[in-house]
Chain A
Amino acid sequence: MSSQNTSNSRHPASSASALPNRTNTARRSTSPRTSTGSSSTNTNTKTVDHAGTTFISSTSKRGRSTKAGSVHSVPMKRTKRVRRTPAQRIEHENKENIQTEKVYRIKPVQRVLSPSDLTNELTILDLFHVPRPNETFDITDRVNNTSR
C-alpha cells in the first residue's frame, strides 16, 4: 500500500511538469504574431451594383476601404411638362347648374375640319373663337398677331 502511494505521488508531479508546456504552446499559438509581408499601395476601385450606382473606393495601406463619393443614374419616372408660365386654373361651373342638368347630351356638330383645313392659321384661330349672335366679330387683332 505504501509503495503504491509512493508511485502514485510521483506521477502527478510529472504530469504537472508536462502540462505547463502545453499551456505555453497553446498560449503562443492562440496569439501569434504574423508579418504582413510587402505593403500595398493605395488603389482606387469602382464597383457598380445592380441599381447602376457606382461607388468609388480608396484602399489604404492597411487595406481599409473608404467611400469617396457616389455617382448614380436615376430610375425612370413619369414627368409633367413645364411651361414658362403656369396655366391659370379653370373655373368650374356653379353647382346649381350641375344639379339642374342631370343628363348631358352631345351638341350637334357644327362643322368638320380635315387636316388640310387645320393648317390654315386663321381657321384654327377661328375654331376657338365662336362668334356670338348679333355681334360683329373684328378680326383685325388676329390678323396683326398672325403677321407677327
Chain B
Amino acid sequence: MMRENPELLLGQVLGDSLRFVSIIGAGAYGVVYKAEDIYDGTLYAVKALCKDGLNEKQKKLQARELALHARVSSHPYIITLHRVLETEDAIYVVLQYCPNGDLFTYITEKKVYQGNSHLIKTVFLQLISAVEHCHSVGIYHRDLKPENIMVGNDVNTVYLADFGLATTEPYSSDFGCGSLFYMSPECQREVKKLSSLSDMLPVTPEPIESQSSSFATAPNDVWALGIILINLCCKRNPWKRACSQTDGTYRSYVHNPSTLLSILPISRELNSLLNRIFDRNPKTRITLPELSTLVSNCKNLTRRLRPAPLVSSRYLAYQQQQQQQQMNLQQGIQGYPHQGYMPTQNIGFPWPPTPQFVSNWNHCATPTIPVSLQVLTPNSSLKVDPTTPLTAPIHATESFWPSAAAAAAAVHNNANSYMPITPTPYPNNAKIFGYPNQPPLTPIPFTGFVLHPAPVGRAADAVDPSRKSL
C-alpha cells in the first residue's frame, strides 16, 4: 500500500515522534521521506523499506546494507544512521538529513567547485578520509560516485552515503558491479564480441589481474575516487568506460598518459597524480594514505585551457605572406598606374578648345572617350531645342544608319531620337580602371546657327542641295 501511494504517509507520525513532511526520493528500494521530530524540530531523512514483495536475496542485500552502514556511521564524513524502526510491514531507517542534496547536483548545476582548487582539495580529502575509514574496518563501498555523496549545510562538508553495494570481501568476483563511469578496468569483464572496426584496431593486452576470477575491491574504490576528482576539477568524465577495447579515449590514455592533458583543463601536477590513480595494475596503484598526501601537497589542480592554433607556425607565416601579397596586388589594381590619364573634370571635351565651351578653356585635357559632335546647318525653318545635344557616330558608315522604316518610326515618335546610339569602343572603362563616375556636362548653346537633322536616306558624304547653290 505504501509503495503504491507513498503520499499516504505524509502528515502521519512514526513512533510517536517523527512526522512525515515530504518525499525526498523514490526508487526500487523504497521511498525516502523528510521527517521532523515533533518535540525538538530536528529534521531527518527516513528511508522506508517494504518487507512485502522481497525475495530472500533482496532481503539479505538490504540487511547487509544496514549492517555495514551502521558499522561506519560514526565517521564525521559518513551519513549518520540514527536508528531503525520496525513495523509489521516495513522497516524505517532514520538517517541524517542533508538539505543541499548530492554532490552531482553541486558539480553540474551550481558549479560551486569550478576553479576553486582549495575547496576541491578540502572536499576530496574528506572523501579520502571516509573511504579510508571504511577500508580500515574491512568495508569496501564499490559504488563511489557524486550521486552517492551528500553535501552538508555548507558546501565545505560532504558525507558518504548509500552502502547498497558495499561488501566485506577484499577480493570479489562480482564483475560489473557498480557504475560504469567509475569502474576500474579489472572490475570489468573482457568484451567478447567486437565490432568490425574494433577488430582492426590494435588492442593492448589487459593486466593479468583482470583475467583472474576475482579483483581487489580496495583499489577499485581508489580508481573511482580518481574519477570523482576529475568530476570536481573539470565537471566531466575522462571516458565512458575504462576498457581499451571499447573506449577510444581510454585506449589513447593507455598508450599515452598525457592524453588527459589534451582533453581536460588539468595541471601537469594533477596529471601525474592521476596517472598514479589510473594505474592498470591494482597492486601498484596508489594507496589512500599516499593519495591524501599528494593531494594535500598539490598546488594547482587545474589550468586555463586555451584553444591551440589549428595549423603550424610555419604555415601560419606562409599564410600571412600570401595575404600580404594579395593585399599588394589589390592595391595595384585599384591604383592609378598611368599618370598621364589622371581623371579630370574636362575629360571628354574636344581638343583644341572651341568657342562653344568658353568657361572650360583653362581646364582642357586630351580626350580619352568619345565626344559629342554637333551638326550645324543654316536652315532656320525648323524648331529644335538648342539645349539638347546631338551625337553622331565616330566612324560613320552605312551600317550605322537606321533603316527607312526605323527612321520613319523614330521621326513619328520623336524627331530627335532617329540618331543611332553612339558605339563605345571600351564600355565600362570607369569600373575597370577606377575612374570616377562623373555626370555628363551640358554644353553652352551657340546661337549663331540652327540645328537641323539630316534628311532620311541621306548618305554621310552627301552635300545638301542648298549648299551646292552657295
Contacts and interface: CB of A to CB of B under 8 A. Distances in A.
Interface in B31-58: 51, 53-55, 57-58
A114 to B, nearest CB: 6
A74 B3 CA distance: 36
Interface string B203-243: 00000000000000000000000000001001111111000
How big is chain B's contact interface, by range?
A: 35 or more
Interface stretch (B117-125, B192-200, B368-376, B451-459): B368-376
Nearest to B5: A104
A144 interface: no
B344 interface: no
B429 A104 contact: no
Contacts of B73: 115
A115 B81 contact: yes
A49 B306 CA distance: 8
B89 interface: yes
Interface in A59-111: 59, 63, 65, 69, 71-84, 87-88, 90-93, 97-98, 101, 103-111
A107 B440 CA distance: 106
A147 to B, nearest CB: 14
A1 B378 CA distance: 14
B104 A106 contact: no
A45 B309 contact: yes
30 contacts: A4-B350, A11-B351, A12-B425, A15-B367, A40-B314, A47-B308, A47-B310, A48-B308, A52-B236, A52-B265, A55-B310, A59-B311, A59-B312, A65-B311, A71-B248, A72-B249, A75-B237, A76-B235, A78-B104, A81-B178, A81-B179, A84-B174, A98-B1, A108-B88, A109-B14, A113-B85, A115-B73, A115-B82, A124-B67, A130-B88
Interface of B: 1-5, 8-9, 12-16, 28, 51, 53-55, 57-60, 62-64, 66-67, 69-71, 73-74, 81-91, 104, 107-108, 143, 145-147, 164-165, 174-182, 231, 234-240, 248-249, 252, 259, 262-265, 305, 307-312, 314-315, 318-319, 321-322, 325, 329, 332-333, 337-338, 341, 350-352, 354, 366-371, 373, 376, 394, 425-426, 429, 432-433
Given A90-B3, A128-B62, 19 more contacts: A9-B394, A11-B350, A16-B425, A26-B333, A32-B329, A34-B325, A52-B305, A53-B263, A72-B263, A74-B249, A81-B165, A82-B180, A84-B174, A88-B55, A106-B12, A109-B15, A109-B16, A109-B87, A128-B60
